[in-house]
Chain A
Amino acid sequence: MTVRLQVRDLSVSLDGHPLVTAIELEVNAGEVYGLVGESGSGKSMIALALMGLLPAGATVSGSVRLDGHELLGADEATLCTIRGRGIGIVFQEPATALNPLLTIGAQVTEGLLANSAATPAEAAMRAAAVLARVGLPAASIPPTRYPHELSGGQRQRVAIAIAIAARPALLIADEPTTALDVTTQAQILALLRTLASEDGMAMVLVSHDLAVVAESAHSIAILRSGRIVEQGRLTTILTRPAHPYTQQLLRDYQPPELLPRLTEPTEVLLRAEDLIRDYPLPRRSFFGPTPTRRALDGVSLRIAAGERVGLVGESGSGKSTLVRALLGLDRAQSGTVRIAGEALYAVGAERLRPLRRLVQVVFQDPYGSLNPRHSIGRIVAEPLHLYPERLPRPERERRVTAALEAVGLGSANLRARPEQFSGGQRQRIAIARALVVEPRLLVLDEAVSALDATTRLQILELLARLWRERGLAYLFVTHDLAVARAVTDRLLVMHEGRIVEQGATARILDRPEHPYTRTLVAATPLFDRALARRSAEDSPE
């Protein structure tokens, strides 16, 4: 096997602060090398250093050799050639990686023209061939399409086509599937793996998700604070981790055990009947009718007091529309939502407030859900507006402090701004805000999806404790089946605006009945399953 990428003693620092230190990597032809670490561990910095795209002011030392050519210290013209022909890159967000004003064929052709002696006609033909290779054959997806006419997964395929068009020696994929749905993710990972082995590329796969790496990589490096703590064959490291940090990471990756239910839930807190919601689409002709898309197609569900219900589905399945309808942020055009027996859409503003006190929400992105201009005291106190009269100041402060104590932030300075807290702490603040009015149902809209494994585990443990102490009911909206298994008793599977399957979580995940649920379960990268498969691949020799 030939070594294509060789990194020796690579260190990068910015303004004297080391970002990555003493990185050693060796990637063979056709090999997928996983770089795993939490946010801030330096994994993306390594990817940038390999491409020579470090931020201004960064100093770099060591050696990066691609097919024997030294990249560090090479002049810009050489680097341009190497980047164009030698290195392909796939980023996380296909929507921003493509030029919205160029057809997909033109974008693939562009790189070919710049980096080879091909004529425009030859380049266009080769571009069509590359697009077909990444699963976009001209017969179904013509190269004359624009990025906005494609789905997220198809756009990522275009980005991959651009990256591999010049047959690079090295393909860097930086969180290539993080923005995609699980079924799409599985396809893209399989595609990348195939391309790497067929073209004999060295591939560096950067990811925060251990399961994604376990599905795809041959070798793996675990990063922490800019250093590799452990590296080697994937199966060896994941089955027999030597470093305590790797051991902890593997432990954190396994979600906690589901706490047993104490009593059978009886009292129905929330009941939705036959919700239908259409969204208007742009008109096709001036006089024609406005076309619509049915986001909710007769959804009914009920959540009892103290019940932990999961809602899974991919983007576009109607999950978000359903959440908005249940919270009264948006009205379904037909159907009813009853909270504690009262119809949410029928009551006036005054009766709505007590209903809102019963149901509160925690959103996905802890950076977007807290107003950056408000102090955390003010943020947590906001739902207290739901009480008919303004609470006296000491009472308000007592409640805010109690809510922050409940989420383990009892000592936080109430005047501090969100920017002074980490992502995990911010999510705790968002939970405290929901708890301040003592709700009985918490809607958790992908509330742990944006968090690192360790933080996610802590938040899941916090939610489990709150459930035990307060008898809260949860509606846990998630795309992560492992999380759903760890925190919910009952699961609703949503697809194309309908709930296609529901039942006990363990039953659905172990023995899915609906075809869509089966696809979903099969596509989800599950750590244990991936590891078992990879070990089986390794052992025959």
Chain B
Amino acid sequence: MPPARLTVGLKIGTVLLSVYAALALSSLSSVYDAGLTIEVGSRLLAPSAAHWFGTDALGRDVLALVAVGTRTSLGVALAAVAAGLLCGVPLGLLAAARGGLADDALARAGDLVFAFPSLLLAVLLAAAAGPGAMTAVIAIGVFNVPVFARLVRGNALSLMQRDFVMAARVAGRSTAAIAFDHLLPNVATLIVVQATIQLSLAIVAEAGLSYVGLGVQPPDPSWGRMLNEAQTLASSAPWLALFPGLALALAVLALNLVGSAMATHLDPRSRAGSP
């Protein structure tokens, strides 16, 4: 039995994530179109029944902006983590299964990426290809590759010493077959847990890049840019900073709650023993 605290955390996290998913999906329809049109006459309205989250300096509905921003933030974060996962996991498996030069090369490349400042890479990419969602995905994704590669390599290395891998080698299986048939299923749960953590980090990173203007460009809304635009009006119209900030914080909280609940549930040691 998992501790009650964690089950509650899992429930809260799941509910929050469902709300975000609903927001992101609803923004694909036309329900927010009216709210996104610029109406200078109704600018900087405080939250009310008509505008739950108030309106911004251009008279746009903040709820609509946050909803569309959810799609941007989650979309960029998901794409970046997926890219990191799809590149990092096979690289880590390969390094563990082959060892030798492949392993060394991967380790050094990982060190290089970790040593490189992420913001600098984003600036370079923006300079080369122009800022935008794709730039953000690449800049964040690159830093996710070694995270997954290292996680997978470390755990796969200890699996390589297990007798079932020896038995597979005696059964004539190739390195690739051992990596994907034997190693991958045994590290899959770790990957899932790490992915939720990386997702929350990627959301924060995306907001940071948008905040400094290297992410999604106007007129597409994003949480980070909303926070930036709210900065000068923070004392007169605090709702402009409050709602995107709250959306960001709750998204990270929800992912962390779900992530730690999954880590506890999937880890046989914490599942079998007492808390």
Contacts and interface: CB of A to CB of B under 8 A. Distances in A.
Interface string A345-388: 00000001100100111011100111111100001001101100
Nearest to B170: A361
B170 A356 contact: yes
B186 to A, nearest CB: 6
Nearest to B168: A382
A55 to B, nearest CB: 7
B52 interface: no
A359 B172 CA distance: 11
Given A352-B172, A353-B172, A373-B186, A329 B166 contact: yes
Contacts, number: 59
A248 B100 CA distance: 52
A171 B20 CA distance: 60
Contacts of B169: 329
B218 interface: no
A430 B172 contact: no
A379 B170 CA distance: 13
A356 B173 CA distance: 11
Interface in B170-211: 170-173, 177, 181-182, 185-186
B162 interface: yes
Nearest to A418: B164
B163 interface: yes
B4 interface: no
A101 interface: no
A368 B163 contact: yes
A386 B163 contact: no
B163 A369 contact: yes
Contacts of A356: 170-172
What interface size band does chain A fall in? 20 to 34
B236 interface: no
Given A57-B274, A368-B162, A371-B186, A363 B172 contact: no
Contacts of A382: 167-168, 171, 173
Q: Which of B166, B169, B181, B274 has the most CB of A within 10 A?
A: B166
A327 interface: yes
A433 interface: yes
A518 B117 CA distance: 65
A359 B177 CA distance: 21
Contacts of B166: 329, 361, 363, 369
Given A353-B172, A372-B186, A56 B167 contact: no
B258 to A, nearest CB: 23
Contact of B170 (A360, A365, A371, A374): A360
A178 to B, nearest CB: 19
Given A329-B166, A433-B167, A55 B172 contact: no
Contacts of B163: 363-365, 368-369
Contacts of A360: 170
B167 A369 contact: yes
B170 A329 contact: yes
Given A373-B185, A373-B186, A385 B167 contact: no
B251 to A, nearest CB: 32
A59 to B, nearest CB: 14
Contacts of A433: 167, 171
A379 B166 CA distance: 13
Interface of A: 55-57, 327, 329, 352-353, 356, 359-361, 363-365, 368-374, 379, 382-383, 385-386, 430, 433
Interface of B: 162-164, 166-173, 177, 181-182, 185-186, 274
- Sorted nearest first, the 4 A-B pairs with minimum C-beta distance are A369-B163, A373-B185, A383-B171, A363-B163
16 contacts: A57-B274, A352-B172, A353-B172, A356-B170, A360-B170, A365-B163, A369-B163, A369-B164, A371-B182, A373-B186, A382-B171, A383-B172, A385-B172, A386-B171, A386-B172, A433-B171
Given A329-B170, A363-B163, 4 more contacts: A56-B274, A327-B170, A329-B169, A373-B185
